[in-house]
Structure 1
Amino acid sequence: MRLDATLKERAKSMRSNLTPAEQKLWLALRANRFENRQFTRQAIIAPYIVDLASKAARLILEIDGDTHSAEDRYDTRRTEFLESLGYRVIRFSNPDVMGNMEGVLSVIAQALRDAPSPQGRRGL
């Protein structure tokens, strides 16, 4: 599937401009550092760009700032769509990531334990 050039360019720009919370979580997850799982930042799962994703584990991590409180309906539709593709979506607030990284990583570790085995999936 060819990705829309505008979507690709936007994801690339977002990767260069991570929020402090996104950057902090990314540093804990990047380069298979966490649970030996690969995560991608600002991953495209068309038509959306998600904050962090482990496609093999079918896990999406969203870090919600203050602007998300006004976007509840949009976030709900977006989450339902991503879940319809077989992803589990976990949302953390900026204060969660900035002030309770141990708790955030614990939740992610449990989600990865519950995720399907990457060896059992094809085409990923």
Structure 2
Amino acid sequence: MCARKPRAPRPTPPGPPSLKGRGEIEPSCTDSKPGAPEAGATRPTLPGAEGEYEPSCADSESGAQEASQPDSPFPLGRGAGGVGSSRRPPVPHLVTGQAVDPAKRELAYRLRREMTPAEQVLWSHLRASKLNGLHFRRQQIVHGFVADFYCHAAGVVVEVDGGVHDTQVEYDAARDQAFAMLGLLVLRFRNENVTESITTVLDRIAAACAERIAAATGSPAG
């Protein structure tokens, strides 16, 4: 009587196909950052702004979730002269009580002492709540970044750009996006806008602040 041959094991059924194409890699957090430099590349920096904070992966995910909220009065997007945000102002405790590196605090003090002529012109119109009673701070540290001018009540950052910003467009865009993730609106003006058309600049700032405060309080913008 012949011995029965053992059965060959059944082949394992193939698993579900991979969602990734051939040769593709899943994007990392760095890949998803707007304006993120490639590995080994030197990232442009703002004058005197070495070591500014870069949003972490968790920050990026948080900002993406907020931007998807349908009931937000401030859709994330680029408007006339600025980048919008997804959170209603004011942002609670955004700058009060934040941990600030001593070196960054000294940097902010130095930038106040060394304001550009255009920054001095704009500050002369913003200081002491001269613009419609809005309180602005100059060279305000916001989560590691030094904003030229900052109005907490409206959640508005105002940046005055010189020629150096022409060489760091991607970095400025990433920086603006980091502010937007914090619920802030960024308004950018060129030096010549401020020195030659200050009334137009002030009207733009006042209108943006009034719109955001009105949306936050539910009252019509005046």
Structure 1 length normalisation: TM-score?
Answer: 0.92
More helix by share: 1
Cα distance in 1, alignment partners of residues 162 and 155 from structure 2: 23
Structure 2 length normalisation: TM-score?
Answer: 0.52
- Say which one has the larger Rg: 2
Instruction: Using the TM superposition, give the Cα deviation of residue 116 of structure 1 relative to its aligned residue in structure 2, in angstroms.
Output: 2.5
Is residue 93 of structure 1 aligned with residue 190 of structure 2? yes
Asked if the contact 2:140/2:149 (under 8 Å) is kept, the reply is yes
Aligned twin of 2:137: 40
Consecutive unaligned residues of structure 2, counting only runs of 5 or more, are 1-97, 218-222
Consecutive unaligned residues of structure 1, counting only runs of 5 or more, are none
Aligned twin of 1:115: 212
1:15 to 103, 109, 112: 112
Percentage identity across paired residues of the two chains:
34
Asked if the contact 2:154/2:210 (under 8 Å) is kept, the reply is no
More strand by share: 1
Once the two structures are superposed, the pairs formed by residues 43-58 of structure 1 within 5 Å of their partners are: 43-58=140-155
Partner-residue secondary structure (3-state), 1:31? helix
State the aligned residue count.
119
Aligned twin of 2:161: 64
2:200 to 94, 103, 107: 103
Partner-residue secondary structure (3-state), 2:100? coil
Cα distance in 1, alignment partners of residues 112 and 182 from structure 2: 23
